[in-house]
A and B are shown apart, each in its own frame.
Chain A
Amino acid sequence: MSKLHVTTTINGEPVEYLCDASASMLDILRGPLGLTGTKEGCGSGDCGACSITVDGRLVCACLMLAAEAEGKAIGTIEGMAEHGVLHPLQQKFLEMAALQCGICTPGVLMASKALLERNPDPTEEEVRFWLAGNLCRCTGYDKIVRAVMETAADMRETVR
């Protein structure tokens, strides 16, 4: 078996791994790399539980080959808190109970962070459209959307 050797960066750290050509990024993150914060809901791009960033771009890890990470900068939920301090989105999700089982939460957080980086003042409609690819089957979307809106407002306040 000839495995592919991949050199990449994950959450700022250099990482190397061996993978089969058909392995998805999600397989490698959750398997050999033990980064199980990224979840698998559907494996077909529909649910967003596997949301990660590649060179800052939000994508589904289930629809990317692990081999494609060569030379890229990957961001996962494990890199969201910095030095043990939760990201404002994470903090707000806890405070506002914007999660129940938590399966969708890492993906929702990664997607919401990508939104606020591009648009610090989104409308509710913009938040709902942006998160259309993140399915949650227990919390209901209202709490999630409200938590994102409130975080955005707080973060604008902090910047000011």
Chain B
Amino acid sequence: MTEIRYLAPSTLDEAVKAFAAASGAASILAGGTDLLVQMRAGVRQPGTIIDIKKIADMTAIEDLGGGAFRIGAAVSGATLAEHPTFGKAWPGVLEAINLIGSKQVQGRASPGGNLCNASPAGDSVPAMVAAGAVVTIQGPNGRREVPVEAIPAGPGRTTLTPGEIVVSFTFPKRPKGSGDAYLRMIPRTEMDIAVVGLGVNLVMEGGVVKEARVGLGAVAPTVLLVEDAAKALIGSRLEDAALEKAAEACRAACKPINDKRGTIAYRTKVAGVLLKRVAAIAAQRAGGN
């Protein structure tokens, strides 16, 4: 076995430089709840491990006012749960992140790791897609910003180019009447991988949906933004017909696999069921805001 190096740079520039210099032989370490499992299983053998948690930006939570937030890519779910205002502005995103694993896993697991691991079933991803979160990326060629849904490229693959590191997620301002929610379907009540995961973010005015976004996970090679579902909801009062149309859009977006957790037919059906349930929760929250 060749020797592994461990680096814990304190600045982003150093981290990017080291990551780029290793040209593919290095792995970024956030909470390690995917990386260390993969290393132990022998499916990942990085020559260098770059721990990003000593970089201040990576673990910061910034309340930008008006419901807008910037959260560092390596913030743990447990830290985010204890933040005084984040969960009030973005309850759906927080509940999605807090569904990841056990309390012990929550102590380390980060949204950046969840996104970059690129599992189609990553729980935080549909909620962040629905939220319209923007990812800030730093690489050898500088900084760029893309929507969350632009990162996953397929199971275990991202659109990040060599040397690029996800720095933070920016969540937009929350207009009055905003609400978001996330639910996943799993065969157990805890500690399982989503059969379907679905996030909805709504802005309502006088009972009418003004803005909507729907993120759908675990039913295709990547998490999806389902624009047709959002279109069906916008302008409606979430009447049965509008909800059914949005549910149909979710079912149509599914390209799932058959596995021990769920068949293609089951996953597809559940996607529609979840759309209705999650939209109801998001609407209720929007009413309280």
Q: How far in angstroms is the closest Cβ of chain B from A73?
A: 14
Cβ–Cβ contact B104 & A48, under 8 A:
yes
Cβ–Cβ contact B5 & A133, under 8 A:
no
A interface residue count range (under 10 / 10 to 19 / 20 to 34 / 35 or more): 20 to 34
Chain B residues near A54 (CB-CB < 8 A) = 107
Chain B 104-140 interface 0/1 with A at a Cβ cutoff of 8 Å (1 = within): 1101100000000000000000000000000000000
Cβ–Cβ contact B32 & A64, under 8 A:
yes
Identify B105's interface contact among A45, A68, A130, CB under 8 A.
A45
Cβ–Cβ contact A4 & B3, under 8 A:
no
CA of A130 to CA of B104, assembled, Å: 9
The segment out of A16-24, A30-38, A74-82 that lies at the interface is A16-24
Identify A46's interface contact among B36, B39, B51, B191, CB under 8 A.
B191
CA of A68 to CA of B102, assembled, Å: 21
Q: How far in angstroms is the closest Cβ of chain A from B209?
A: 32
Cβ–Cβ contact B101 & A133, under 8 A:
yes
Cβ–Cβ contact B104 & A22, under 8 A:
no
Known contacts A21-B5, A65-B49, A133-B191; A45/B29 CB under 8 A: no
CA of A130 to CA of B41, assembled, Å: 27
Decide yes or no whether B43 CB sits under 8 A from chain A: no
Cβ–Cβ contact B103 & A133, under 8 A:
yes
With an 8 Å Cβ cutoff, the count of chain B residues facing the other chain is 29
CA of A74 to CA of B79, assembled, Å: 17
Cβ–Cβ contact B3 & A65, under 8 A:
no
Decide yes or no whether B266 CB sits under 8 A from chain A: no
CA of A132 to CA of B31, assembled, Å: 19
Chain B 1-12 interface 0/1 with A at a Cβ cutoff of 8 Å (1 = within): 001111010000
Chain A residues near B190 (CB-CB < 8 A) = 129, 132
Decide yes or no whether B236 CB sits under 8 A from chain A: no
Decide yes or no whether B78 CB sits under 8 A from chain A: yes
Cβ–Cβ contact A1 & B3, under 8 A:
yes
Cβ–Cβ contact A63 & B37, under 8 A:
yes
CA of A57 to CA of B36, assembled, Å: 19
Chain B residues near A43 (CB-CB < 8 A) = 40
Name the residue among A51, A57, A111 with the largest chain B CB count within 10 angstroms. Answer: A57
Known contacts A45-B33, A57-B78, A65-B29; A51/B6 CB under 8 A: no
Cβ–Cβ contact A63 & B33, under 8 A:
yes
Cβ–Cβ contact A21 & B191, under 8 A:
no
Known contacts A22-B4, A44-B40; A59/B108 CB under 8 A: yes
A-B contact pairs, 14 of them (CB 8 A): A24-B36, A45-B102, A59-B108, A60-B33, A60-B104, A62-B36, A63-B31, A63-B104, A68-B32, A130-B103, A132-B102, A133-B101, A133-B102, A133-B191
Across the A-B interface, give the 9 residue pairs with the lowest CB-CB distance, nearest first: A133-B102, A21-B6, A132-B190, A59-B107, A21-B4, A57-B107, A67-B6, A60-B104, A22-B4
Which A residues contact B (CB, under 8 angstroms)? 1-2, 4, 20-22, 24, 43-46, 48, 51, 54, 57-60, 62-65, 67-68, 70, 111, 114-115, 129-130, 132-134
* Additional 9 contacts, C-beta under 8 A, given A59-B104, A65-B32: A1-B3, A21-B4, A21-B6, A48-B102, A54-B107, A57-B107, A60-B107, A63-B104, A65-B29
